[in-house]
């Protein structure tokens, strides 16, 4: 009897009906033994997913053949037939195995939380189901809103480039993407079991297939009723081959589920791209050129859209205003609040930028009156490049870092509360006199929080990163900003998805 663990829940009724075009009882009756055995020796089908193991006896039975006197059943030359019950059990075992495989593959798929990871998992699962070794997926939503990408499995970037030189109409994925074949209700698959034996195969396709070493392909559309066509997946065989009916059925079930998951991730990716675009558009499109100062910036936005911002604007009398800040929270509303705060600070800086304390006091009043539920940190510096003089004030913000040939130190600023947290904000300003060739680093606390260290250790890491810059590289603020960012946030922490935004603004005084 088939031993099925209790944790496996199989809907055999649907599976039997789908694959044999018959009901469950019909299947049992077809494979049940002919005749009416006694109650003690009657075979009982195993209980699987709620199926009643009691099988009714057939309406018509055949009387057992009379035994021949003196005949020995052991010496009979006729081999004993395979019990019909064993055949049914073998079929059930195969279906259980298939459903268990689908369950494991879909579990791995739903654990992916990024579009690129989900596409790679789709290709890996498909190669296992259809028996191929390589494949590619072309993501190209039919609504034209993107994202558009091509990802390969077992194919290098150069290999994908070679395949893109083949006319699109000659490729199976091109047929699925450019015609109704890739839409719901259209053609469900394209099988090319032997490319080189096909009449009319595009010469360039033949050349590329021979160069990359694949001889057959199997393609499926990625489409849903709600989202429409998302793309197409193609699996490549090294030798002439094609998936059998069972493999096609399994990969079809898996692909339909995977496409629904991909549709959700596409929407998430679009929302992230929209927030990132909003954030970038609300920040300076380029840094100004001011005599006596060289500027560079690094900005990283989290996937949910954060409120970290920076600004650099020329002011009257050949002065320069530098600002960094952060609005608490994340999401579209925070991005919008960040834009309003930055625009307001620019206006106050033009009117009274030589007094950073007055600028932040006006900003505090505006924030408290217009958005009383929010708080923000900010730092504004009024720079006079001709005099190499900086006057700055901060509201709950991290102190700047001064980097030179003989010193690497934090600028001592007064302790103050963030904007929006006090009924009246005011803190004394600080004057800094950088030497020729020294660089001032302004940054947001996201740079420290992304390290995962405590505040003290994060400040120590930032100081060590700045002090460790080779002296030959300190003349370029862009190199300084890049070195500090990569040293403080190594191993891709500067580009990984995080709830913390990062702003690093470098100003080198000549």
What's the pLDDT score for residue 181?
A: 59
What's the pLDDT score for residue 23?
A: 38
Asked, for residue 246, whether it belongs to a domain, the answer is yes
Give the pLDDT band of residue 255 (cuts 50, 70, 90).
very high
Asked, for residue 303, whether it belongs to a domain, the answer is yes
Identify the residue whose tokens are 């700047």. Answer: 400
Verify that 124 and 237 share a domain, yes or no. Answer: yes
* Residue 80 to residues 40, 66, 445, Cα–Cα distance (Å): 21, 17, 80
Of 11-15, 106-110, 210-214, the one with minimum mean pLDDT is 11-15
Of 301-305, 376-380, 449-453, the one with minimum mean pLDDT is 301-305
Give the pLDDT band of residue 161 (cuts 50, 70, 90).
very high
CATH number at residue 302: 3.60.40.10
Asked, for residue 409, whether it belongs to a domain, the answer is yes
What's the pLDDT score for residue 153?
A: 95
Mean pLDDT computed over 277-301 = 88
Q: Judge whether 379 and 507 are in contact, CB under 8 Å.
A: no
CA distance 431 to 402: 13
**pLDDT at residue 36 above 70?**
no
The packing angle between helices 24-31 and 12-20, to 10°, is: 70
Q: Is beta strand 439-443 parallel, antiparallel or unpaired with respect to 401-403?
A: antiparallel
Which of 272, 294, 327 corresponds to the end of one domain?
272
Mean pLDDT computed over 171-188 = 75
Verify that 369 and 471 share a domain, yes or no. Answer: yes
What's the pLDDT score for residue 81?
A: 64
CA distance 387 to 509: 10
Verify that 442 and 361 share a domain, yes or no. Answer: yes
Asked, for residue 40, whether it belongs to a domain, the answer is yes
Q: Long-range contacts of range 89-96, CB-CB < 8 Å, 24 or more positions apart?
A: 89/1, 89/2, 89/45, 89/46, 92/2, 92/12, 92/46, 92/48, 93/2, 95/10, 95/12, 95/15, 95/16, 95/19, 96/4, 96/8, 96/10, 96/48
**pLDDT at residue 164 above 90?**
yes
Mean pLDDT computed over 469-475 = 89
Mean pLDDT computed over 73-78 = 47
Both structure tokens of 318 = 């050949």
Asked, for residue 70, whether it belongs to a domain, the answer is no
CA distance 122 to 132: 13
Give the pLDDT band of residue 185 (cuts 50, 70, 90).
low
Q: Judge whether 266 and 112 are in contact, CB under 8 Å.
A: no
> What is the percentage of the chain residues whose pLDDT exceeds 90?
53
Q: Judge whether 374 and 328 are in contact, CB under 8 Å.
A: yes
What's the pLDDT score for residue 306?
A: 76
Asked, for residue 63, whether it belongs to a domain, the answer is no
The residues pairing with 382 across neighbouring beta strands, listed in sequence order, are 321, 391
User: Peptide bond preceding 129: is omega within 30 degrees of 0, i.e. cis?
Assistant: no
Asked, for residue 248, whether it belongs to a domain, the answer is yes
Both structure tokens of 307 = 């409120």
Mean pLDDT computed over 114-137 = 95
Of 325-339, 398-412, 450-464, the one with minimum mean pLDDT is 325-339
Identify the residue whose tokens are 């999401």. Answer: 331
Residue 48 is part of which domain span?
1-53+83-111
Identify the residue whose tokens are 């009691």. Answer: 54
CATH number at residue 222: 3.30.450.40
What's the pLDDT score for residue 68?
A: 41
Both structure tokens of 417 = 């509360």
What's the pLDDT score for residue 508?
A: 95
Mean pLDDT computed over 453-471 = 93
Q: What is the pLDDT of residues 402-415, one digit of tens each?
A: 999 889 999 987 76
What's the pLDDT score for residue 330?
A: 78
Mean pLDDT computed over 4-27 = 40
Q: For the whole model, what pTM was predicted?
A: 0.65
Verify that 320 and 249 share a domain, yes or no. Answer: no
Per DSSP, the three-state class of 229 is: strand
Alpha carbon distance, N-terminus to C-terminus of the chain:
86
Phi, psi torsion values for 29, nearest 5 degrees: -65, -35
Strands (DSSP E) found in 350-412: 376-384, 389-395, 401-403, 408-410
Verify that 244 and 298 share a domain, yes or no. Answer: no
Which of 221, 252, 272 corresponds to the end of one domain?
272
Verify that 146 and 261 share a domain, yes or no. Answer: yes
The more confident residue out of 225 and 38 is 225
Asked, for residue 61, whether it belongs to a domain, the answer is no
Annotate 89-116 with b (16+ C-beta within 10 A) or e (fewer). Answer: bebbeebbebbeebeebbeebeebeebe
Verify that 251 and 288 share a domain, yes or no. Answer: no
What's the pLDDT score for residue 67?
A: 46
Which of 232, 247, 272 corresponds to the end of one domain?
272
> What is the percentage of the chain residues whose pLDDT exceeds 70?
80
CA distance 198 to 10: 41
* Sign of the alpha-carbon torsion through 484, 409, 294, 316: positive
Verify that 265 and 385 share a domain, yes or no. Answer: no
CA atoms within 13 A on the CB side of 46: 19
What's the pLDDT score for residue 17?
A: 42
Verify that 244 and 324 share a domain, yes or no. Answer: no
Q: What is the mean pLDDT of the chain?
A: 82
Verify that 180 and 255 share a domain, yes or no. Answer: yes
Q: What is the pLDDT of residues 372-396, one digit of tens each?
A: 888 899 999 999 999 999 999 998 8
Of 7-21, 102-116, 193-207, 289-303, the one with minimum mean pLDDT is 7-21
* Residue 85 to residues 41, 180, 471, Cα–Cα distance (Å): 13, 46, 82
Verify that 372 and 487 share a domain, yes or no. Answer: yes
Verify that 87 and 157 share a domain, yes or no. Answer: no
Q: CB within 8 A of 143, min separation 6: which ones? A: 228
Strands (DSSP E) found in 265-318: 293-300, 306-315
Q: Judge whether 385 and 321 are in contact, CB under 8 Å.
A: no
What's the pLDDT score for residue 182?
A: 57
Work out how many domains the chain is built from and give that number.
Answer: 3
């Amino acid at each position: 009897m088939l031993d099925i663990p209790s944790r496996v829940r199989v809907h055999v009724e649907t599976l039997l009906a789908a694959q044999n075009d018959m009901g469950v009882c019909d299947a049992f009756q077809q494979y049940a033994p002919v005749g009416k055995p006694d109650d003690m020796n009657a075979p009982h089908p195993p209980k699987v997913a709620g199926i009643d193991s009691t099988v009714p006896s057939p309406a018509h039975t055949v009387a057992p053949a009379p035994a021949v006197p003196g005949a020995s059943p052991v010496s009979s030359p006729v081999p004993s037939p395979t019990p019909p019950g064993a055949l049914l059990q073998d079929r059930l075992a195969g279906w259980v195995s298939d459903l268990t495989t689908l369950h494991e593959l879909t579990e791995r798929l739903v654990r992916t939380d990024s579009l690129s990871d989900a596409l790679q998992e789709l290709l890996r699962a498909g190669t296992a189901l259809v028996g191929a070794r390589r494949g590619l997926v072309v993501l190209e939503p039919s609504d034209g809103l993107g994202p558009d990408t091509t990802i390969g499995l077992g194919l290098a970037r150069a290999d994908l480039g070679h395949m893109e030189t083949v006319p699109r109409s000659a490729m199976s994925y091109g047929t699925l993407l450019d015609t109704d074949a890739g839409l719901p209700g259209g053609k469900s698959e394209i099988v090319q079991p032997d490319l080189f034996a096909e009449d009319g195969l595009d010469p360039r396709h033949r050349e590329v297939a021979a160069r990359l070493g694949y001889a057959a392909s199997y393609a499926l559309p990625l489409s849903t009723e709600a989202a429409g066509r998302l793309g197409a997946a193609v699996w490549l065989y090294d030798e002439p081959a094609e998936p059998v009916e069972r493999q096609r059925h399994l990969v079809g079930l898996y692909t339909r589920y995977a496409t629904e998951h991909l549709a959700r991730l596409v929407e998430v990716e679009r929302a992230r791209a929209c927030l990132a675009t909003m954030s970038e558009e609300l920040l300076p499109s380029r840094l100004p050129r001011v005599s006596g100062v060289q500027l560079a910036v690094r900005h990283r936005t989290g996937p949910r859209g954060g409120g970290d911002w920076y600004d650099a604007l020329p002011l009257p009398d050949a002065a320069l205003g530098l600002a960094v800040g952060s609005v608490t929270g994340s999401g579209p509303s925070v991005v919008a609040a960040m834009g309003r705060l930055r625009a307001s600070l620019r206006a106050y800086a033009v009117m009274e930028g030589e007094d950073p304390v007055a600028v932040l006091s006006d900003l505090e009043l505006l924030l408290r009156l217009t958005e009383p539920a929010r708080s923000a940190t900010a730092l504004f510096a009024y720079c006079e490049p001709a005099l190499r003089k900086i006057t700055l004030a901060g509201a709950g913000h991290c102190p700047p870092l001064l980097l030179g040939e003989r010193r690497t130190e934090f600028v001592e600023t007064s302790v103050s509360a963030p904007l929006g947290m006090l009924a009246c904000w005011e803190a004394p300003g600080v004057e800094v006199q950088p030497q020729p060739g020294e660089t001032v680093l302004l940054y947001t606390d996201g740079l420290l929080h992304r390290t995962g260290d405590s505040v003290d250790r994060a400040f120590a890491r930032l100081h060590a990163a700045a002090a460790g810059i080779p002296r030959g590289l300190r003349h370029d603020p862009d190199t300084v900003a890049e070195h500090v960012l990569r040293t403080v946030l190594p191993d891709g922490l500067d580009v990984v998805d995080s709830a913390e935004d990062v702003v690093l603004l470098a100003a080198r005084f000549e």
